[in-house]
Amino acid sequence: MRAMQLTAYDAPLEMREVDMPQPGPGEVRIRVETCGLNFGDTLIIKGTYQEKPPLPATLGMELAGTVDAVGEGVTGLSEGNRIAAYSGFGGLGEYACLPAEICVPIPDQMSAVDAAAFLIAYGTSHVGLDYKAHLKPGERLLVLGASGGVGLTAVELGKLMGAEVIACARGKAKLEICRQMGADHLIDSEADDIREAVKALGGADVVYDPVGGAQFKAALRACNPEARLLPLGFASGEVPQIPANIVLVKNISVIGFYWGGYAKVNPNVLTDSFKVLFDWYVSGKLKPHVSHVLPLQDANEALDLLRSRKATGKVVVEVQA
């Protein structure tokens, strides 16, 4: 089978012929149709992600496809079932063997492209806003990096959950997409003073931050008393240091949040969230925004769209039809 693999850190992926994987006990083999790319994939390539796989490694954190073979002891899944999975690795190969317990059946109405764009982005935003930050109707939500994969879903879900949404992104074109996804207020991170713009709107009750750096610092100073601030990534490349005096004086909660970690420590958090999200998708309340779909051989170009910030929402690779 074909797979796009990382053979050396900080180098392009290579198309390679590799052995077809065989499912072990508790595993299923997936015929991969689509793979959703994430900023974390670019960090793995650089060798700076929290997980560093032995090389060569097939990248691709989330995938969608059809169960092709079932390992010993698997119940609840059978050949022909359509599934999506947060796999961590393996999505950029034509077949992948994964634990059955991390595979999620997808609705008949959901396309393979939508399925590959769904789990991480919507799962991260829903667990972050609902389970961690306890976002309430009427609160003011500031979303940094609002045009990106997780940012855009936070805008969409925040509005669906009844919040007043402030979207912060780079440039008018990206902000227009945020507006279309439900944002009430728009802040241009290149042209506007984030701190002053948010304060002029009444301050933030919840901050959703996949960016870090200077934007984190500005958002912290625009928080209302008892605000909740969720750092979930550092796309800026700078991990901010938190001034404890501001947190103390305003009774602000800074809540660490790593969505993928719940797969090990409390998987029910993820499965409960997926039930809600799939129901919302089927009822037409959610629609993934996918700006680019590229074939497997163009996976390096697809990753460059993330690095260069040219993508909005998700970038999906079609592995096989």
Give me the CATH number covering residue 155: 3.40.50.720
Phi, psi for 229 (deg, rounded to 5)? -120, 125
Is the same domain home to 6 and 108?
yes
Say if residue 254 is in the same domain as residue 169: yes
Q: What is the C-alpha separation between 197 and 250, in angstroms, rounded?
A: 19
Residues 212 and 248 in one domain: yes
Share the mean pLDDT of the chain.
Answer: 94
Boundary residue ending a domain (240, 258, 276): 258
Q: The CATH number of the domain where 76 resides is what?
A: 3.90.180.10
What domain range includes position 65? 2-118+288-318
Instruction: Find the DSSP H helices in the chain.
Output: 39-46, 112-116, 119-126, 149-160, 172-180, 194-200, 213-220, 244-249, 262-265, 267-282, 299-307
DSSP three-state, residue 257: coil
> Looking at the structure, do residues 28 and 67 belong to the same domain, yes or no?
yes
Strands 223-231 and 253-254 come out as parallel
Total domains present in the chain: 2
Q: Which residue has the higher pLDDT, 190 or 205?
A: 205
The per-residue pLDDT for range 267-281, each reduced to its tens digit, is 889 889 999 999 999
Q: What is the pTM of this model?
A: 0.88
Identify whether 23 is part of a domain.
Answer: yes
Same domain? 11 vs 92? yes
Identify whether the C-beta of residue 29 lies closer than 8 Å to the C-beta of residue 97: yes
List, for residues 204-255, the tens digit of each pLDDT value.
999 999 999 999 999 999 999 999 999 998 888 888 888 898 999 999 999 9
Confidence of residue 155 (pLDDT cuts 50, 70, 90): very high
